[in-house]
Amino acid sequence: MPPIVEMTDDVLKQLINEMTSPGGPFEFVHQTIHGVDSKVFKYGPRNLAEMYALGRDKDSFYARTFNRWFGDEDWTCMVYLEERYSFRTTYRLAAQLAWRIKERFGIQKGDRVAIAMRNYPEFCLAFMAATAIGALAVPFNAWWEGPELAYGLQDSEPKMIFADQQRCDRLTEYLKDSNIPLVVARSEKELPVGIIRYEDLIAGSTESDFPPADVDIDDDAYIMYTSGSTGRPKGVVTTHRAIINTVMSWHMPVVGMMHLNRDYLDEVKPTHMPSTLLTVPLFHVTGLVSLFLSIFINRRKLVIMYKWDAEEALRLIEEERITIFNGVPSMSFDLVNSPNIRKRDLSSLTFLGGGGAARPPQHVQLLEEILGRHIAQAGYGLTETTALGATNSGENYRNHPDSVGRPTPPLMEAKIVDENGRELTNGEIGEICFRSPASLKGYWKDPKATAEIFLDGGWLKTGDVGIIDDEGFVYIKDRAKDLVIRGGENIACREVEDAIYDHPKVFEAAVFGLPEEKLGEQVVAVIMVRPNEELTEQELKDFLSTRLAKFKIPSLIWFQNEPLLKGATGKIHKRALKEEKQDELS
């Protein structure tokens, strides 16, 4: 029997059977989690601190195999500019930080630790330190402006904050009357009295392991804010189990293929060590879970980009021999339109993933034409599902390019329901629902919203409308929520409308999304100006810039003096407005 080199449906079935059978490394059992009967992995880390320690593990089947291929050494964990951190160094630095925040600020289990910064190694270390001792990490969106930051502080009530200089400057005004300690990383200027420099906080630390902490797998790990159909972002509370079961689900096929090829390991040795490029923000679930937290099980190198830049990405792929590229559709657009893409050596890439929004097939086709091989994959998940959902790769992606794939094995389940929650048959259109241990525990301080997102039996409503075909492939057709997805960022139309209505010259407003080639969708608005008033686009955008992050401000605005189109119920008829404006632009 020759080595297995392609993941066909038959190979996947064999892999799942062997990996999940009794005693297998990915065996799953049924447990009652938050009152719901759930399929969960029987073995694995008990909490995130144990998962972080896997980066130092040399005894697992995976580690022994890679040591055989690439040598028994302390592999690189993170790269940022000229800085390189090994897995042992990363673990040690995070452990030392955990001791400092526990001793100096009294951080303990259940406390919230906010992280407000762009992509830096310190973001990763702060997240590890907080979660290892049972605190909840709270990533703040780095695009947030004053009112949004004020809301995040008021809602999450952090006991301390990690920030970079830019976020520090924005936060200071809102911390004047509080005693919340603020720790600033990589500051290059004099800090105000009372604000602590990150480097000073950890100076002289010598610990090599995390402080003792009683952290269970079903304890809360983080709160991540996501835009829904309402005006304010909701805090998604995610547990250690959700993260661990998500990461293990993604790694099962990799470990499984090595297991199936256990007699042919030398023949299937990869050319390069596994590595991934961090192209998206760490304050999003894709950057945090899919790219960062997934590195520990298979000791995958994470090359951190401070912000997206196509030319820098191409350079890093070539120089760092990146094997995994995962990003939003606009990044594929930037890559295929780079004048230098054919000048770079991209032969190390084995995985070209995408998510956050639909990726135009022509981008994939051109990228694969340039690369000379088929490596594209698609995925679908939500902040509420810890990014776990459906995956589409290999022959399935070629044969079903408009599908997000089948539910990710072995734990994820999917179904389609009607407006009453009744399950529909294959091919019938309705709301997509998921069930797995990766689902959120609930929305922070919002039991009503938590109850509304779940159906009986632990099924989570995604807010997306679609179908499941007879082969189990999921297709997204529309959104039930009033959202715009711009370059992977979820934007609640209601939130933008509320900010627009704050302007004294606005009488009526409707915000919605229209197609845009690079970012997938753009935010647009149709506005009725109050009688006898005049309002310009620049005036409104300047007004909104003090209330909304830049990516939420409409790029196209139509002003009119007559009332906006209404439906039979008297509500603004957004669908008709959308069709009208789309026709005008075509």
Range of lowest pLDDT (82-86, 138-142, 165-169, 510-514): 510-514
**Is pLDDT of 354 > 80?**
no
Q: What is the pLDDT of residues 267-318, one digit of tens each?
A: 999 999 999 999 999 999 999 999 999 999 988 999 999 999 999 999 999 9
Tell me whether strands 234-239 and 520-529 are parallel, antiparallel or unpaired: unpaired
Asked if the domains 9-73+239-417+430-478 and 84-237 are classified in one and the same CATH topology, the answer is yes
User: How confident is the prediction for the chain on average, in pLDDT?
Assistant: 90
CA-nearest of 292, 306, 305, 411 to 52 is: 292
Range of lowest pLDDT (84-93, 123-132, 234-243, 493-502): 493-502
Cα 295 → chain centroid: 14
Range of lowest pLDDT (2-6, 107-111, 407-411): 2-6
Say whether the peptide bond before residue 410 is cis (omega within 30 degrees of 0).
yes
| Predicted pLDDT at 43 | 92
Residues forming beta bridges with residue 36, ordered by sequence position: 33
Domain range list for the chain: 9-73+239-417+430-478, 84-237, 487-585
The rounded distance, in Å, linking the Cα atoms of 37 and 30 is: 6
CA-nearest of 327, 335, 331 to 284 is: 327
Highest mean pLDDT among 128-142, 353-367, 496-510: 128-142
Sheet hosting strand 301-304, strand order edge to edge: 83-86, 76-80, 301-304, 275-278, 324-327, 351-354
**Is pLDDT of 366 > 80?**
no
CA angle 124, 129, 134 (to 5 degrees): 125
Tell me whether strands 234-239 and 324-327 are parallel, antiparallel or unpaired: unpaired
Highest mean pLDDT among 343-357, 391-405, 532-546: 532-546
CATH topology of domain 84-237: Rossmann fold (3.40.50)
**Is pLDDT of 393 > 90?**
no
Q: What is the pLDDT of residues 520-569, one digit of tens each?
A: 889 999 999 988 999 999 999 999 998 898 999 999 999 999 988 876 55
What are φ and ψ of residue 327, in 5° steps?
Answer: -165, 180
Give me the CATH code for the 487-585 domain, please: 3.30.300.30
| Predicted pLDDT at 567 | 64
Q: Give the pLDDT band of residue 228 (cuts 50, 70, 90).
A: low
Residue recorded with tokens 């005006």: 231
**Is pLDDT of 103 > 60?**
yes
Q: Give the pLDDT band of residue 429 (cuts 50, 70, 90).
A: confident
What sign has the CA pseudo-torsion 57, 59, 65, 68? positive
The rounded distance, in Å, linking the Cα atoms of 476 and 461 is: 13
| Predicted pLDDT at 423 | 96
| Predicted pLDDT at 177 | 83
165: three-class secondary structure by DSSP:
helix
Range 165-172 average pLDDT: 93
| Predicted pLDDT at 469 | 95
| Predicted pLDDT at 124 | 98
Q: Give the pLDDT band of residue 575 (cuts 50, 70, 90).
A: confident
Residue recorded with tokens 């390019």: 401
The rounded distance, in Å, linking the Cα atoms of 496 and 489 is: 14
Give me the CATH code for the 9-73+239-417+430-478 domain, please: 3.40.50.12780
| Predicted pLDDT at 361 | 63
Q: Which residue has the higher pLDDT, 478 or 373?
A: 373
497: three-class secondary structure by DSSP:
helix
| Predicted pLDDT at 538 | 95
Range of lowest pLDDT (31-45, 184-198, 282-296, 395-409): 395-409
Q: Give the pLDDT band of residue 224 (cuts 50, 70, 90).
A: very high
| Predicted pLDDT at 135 | 98
65: three-class secondary structure by DSSP:
helix
572: three-class secondary structure by DSSP:
strand
The rounded distance, in Å, linking the Cα atoms of 73 and 108 is: 34
**Is pLDDT of 352 > 90?**
no
Range of lowest pLDDT (67-71, 149-153, 290-294): 67-71
Cβ-Cβ contacts under 8 Å for 306 (sequence gap 6 or more): 80, 118, 119, 120
Q: Give the pLDDT band of residue 158 (cuts 50, 70, 90).
A: very high
| Predicted pLDDT at 1 | 67
Structure token pair of residue 393:
């790769």
Q: Which residue has the higher pLDDT, 76 or 485?
A: 76
Residues forming beta bridges with residue 292, ordered by sequence position: none
| Predicted pLDDT at 136 | 98
Cβ-Cβ contacts under 8 Å for 185 (sequence gap 6 or more): 117, 120, 122, 162, 163, 164, 198, 199
Highest mean pLDDT among 243-252, 331-340, 475-484, 568-577: 243-252
Q: Which residue has the higher pLDDT, 316 or 371?
A: 316
Residue recorded with tokens 């094995």: 409
| Predicted pLDDT at 231 | 62
**Is pLDDT of 31 > 90?**
yes
| Predicted pLDDT at 242 | 97
- DSSP H helices, 84-164, are 87-105, 121-132, 146-156
The rounded distance, in Å, linking the Cα atoms of 389 and 408 is: 6
What are φ and ψ of residue 278, in 5° steps?
Answer: -80, 100
Tell me whether strands 351-354 and 324-327 are parallel, antiparallel or unpaired: parallel
Hey, what long-range contacts does 144-149 have (CB within 8 A, 24 or more apart)? 144/116, 144/170, 144/549, 145/170, 145/545, 145/546, 145/547, 145/548, 145/549, 146/170, 146/173, 146/174, 146/546, 147/546, 147/547, 148/233, 148/548, 148/549, 149/116, 149/174
pTM as predicted: 0.86
Range 323-335 average pLDDT: 82
